[in-house]
Amino acid sequence: MNRENLNFWLSLIANIGVLGGLLFVGYEIRQNTVQLRAESSRSITASVNDLNVGIYSDAELVAILIKGTKDRGALNPVERYRFDTVQFSRLNIAEYVLDLEREGVSDLNFRYVDWVVRDFNRKPGLRQFIRDHEESYVGSADLLARLLGEAAEEQP
């Protein structure tokens, strides 16, 4: 076997090794992406469940939320603070979902943000909440625009 022939075979074996390594890396990246998406879905679900458990285990808070979604102005200052805290928590979860979607990590079929936007636009107390906090809102401009834009469209 001459030197040229030996170099050819060594080069071929090295290239096959590189290709195999790239395929392995691609497979690992895909597995990590699947795992990351599953973990993000679990995280979102846990956040929503934690919020719901906190709300529904407190009958007084449930009454405040029912009253506030109809008319936020009917709440006293303490009730308004509790109402607003829950709404900010809901918006924080929505922001988290949007961040994960932008990064390509979250399942795009997870419709939490759409549900929150619809909820805010259907209930007068929630529309009032977002208008009252428009200037101080520190979340994404995209979500704020959806909340304000759709609220304006549905007003008579």
Name residue 144's amino acid.
L
Would you say the pTM of this structure is higher than 0.75?
no
Q: What is the mean pLDDT of residues 43-59?
A: 88
Q: Which residues contact 131 (CB under 8 A, 6 or more apart)?
A: 148, 151
Tens digits of residue pLDDT in 63-92: 999 999 999 999 999 999 999 999 999 998
Per DSSP, helices labelled H in the chain are 3-56, 59-70, 77-102, 112-122, 124-132, 141-154
Helix (H, G, I), strand (E, B) or coil at 135: coil
Dihedral sign, Cα of residue 94, residue 99, residue 100, residue 102: positive
Q: Where are the domains of the chain?
A: 41-154
Residue 121's pLDDT band, with cuts at 50, 70 and 90, is confident
